[in-house]
Amino acid sequence: MEFRILQKGEGCRGRLGEIATTHGKFRTPVFMPVGTQGSVKAVSPDELRQTGTEIILANTYHLYLRPGHKLIERLGGLHRFMGWDGPILTDSGGFQVYSLAKLRNITEEGVVFQSHLDGSRHFIGPEQAMDIQQSLGSDIVMAFDECVSYPAEYEYVQRSVALTSRWAERCRAHLAGEAQALFGIVQGGVYPDLREKSAHDLVRLGFDGYALGGLAVGEDRDTRLHVIRETIQMLPEDKPVYLMGVGAPEDLVESVALGVDMFDCVMPTRNARNGTLFTTHGRITIKNAQYMDDERAVDDQCDCYTCTHFSRAYLRHLFLARELLAYRLNTIHNLRYYARLMAGLREAVKHGRVEEFKKAFYEALEGNERGEFND
């Protein structure tokens, strides 16, 4: 992997970049749609491309359980298996250490999971996480870590940071070859000294990029932005910074200005399936009666297939009728909204207008249906 900084922002830490991988290049800052099980829900790879998507995320734990990483490897790797020829990043399974807390047991060696599918028990440690991701053939591999819940006691987070650092060292030692880039994940909760300790440990090991983990797990936005701002300053300027699992539009706008290069979140796709659509002027809940005979497009500034072909009234009808097309059209729009937002941020960085972009972004939200975006 090669990361090139094309331009640094004026008056902020944001930067314009490009990352080259085995399966092509993508521009940063970038948002990665989540394809947990080898599929971004409700849309095809061609439709993903049409939204402006350049890289997607898939999940190690879920693909290990079903259909199995060795099967995917025998069938030519994840790119061929799912028909996506662009870059793929795979999460290590560390988030499932948090999200499946009731179904796992953490030890020094790794984590024993009880499958949410059939109750069977499985062990994943740093070496296993690397082996699974090698079989999948993703372009960017994440180190195995523990994502701690919020709130958490200082002593627990301190022990967790030490464990994550030891696991990161094992990942770094085990991953073979140069075809895949390896990112370390900075943990530490909301404790500044633990974030500093985690960042120091990972930088010492030397990774191709650095992720900020353990955020958007219950803390408020001001706390989250403070952690991001302080932690980024501890990381090498010549490496990409990835903010894991954070995806509210405001978070993207604020975090790009702080120097984040990569994002992922289920927010655009999950909200689409729940009938919530992102627009330039805020979110709309398409099932609401006010859209019953609304002939307008979802967003008059959007050029996606949904907005150029269908009315709010039709989308409301599809959603209330539980037609499968509703999920497809809603997802296409939300992904395009996110792609357009990131393109706008890249242009703002390029022309030194990030603060102006932020001001216009918030002004456009005034008076929308919900008052503001909510996590």
Would strands 88-91 and 282-285 be described as parallel, antiparallel, or unpaired? unpaired
Per-residue H/E/C for the chain: CEEEEEEECCCCCCEEEEEEECCEEEEECEEEEECCCCCCCCCCHHHHHHHCCCCEEEEHHHHHHCCCHHHHHHCCCHHHHHCCCCCEEEECCHHHHHHCHHHEEECCCCEEEECCCCCCEEEECHHHHHHHHHHHCCCEEECCCCCCCCCCCHHHHHHHHHHHHHHHHHHHHHCCCCCCEEEEEECCCCCHHHHHHHHHHHHHHCCCEEEECCCCCCCCHHHHHHHHHHHHCCCCCCCCEEECCCCCHHHHHHHHHHCCCEEEECHHHHHHHCCEEEECCEEEECCCHHHCCCCCCCCCCCCCHHHHHCCHHHHHHHHHCCCHHHHHHHHHHHHHHHHHHHHHHHHHHHCCCHHHHHHHHHHHHCCCCCCCCCC
Active-site residue (options: 220, 264, 299, 375): 264
Structure tokens at 160: 């967790």
Name 241's bridge partners. 210
Sign of dihedral through CA atoms 272, 278, 283, 286? negative
Is 294 tagged catalytic? Answer: no
- Between the CA of residue 239 and those of 9, 209, 313, what are the distances in Å? 16, 5, 46
Is 264 tagged catalytic? Answer: yes
Active-site residue (options: 85, 91, 131, 293): 91
Residues labelled as active-site residues: 91, 264
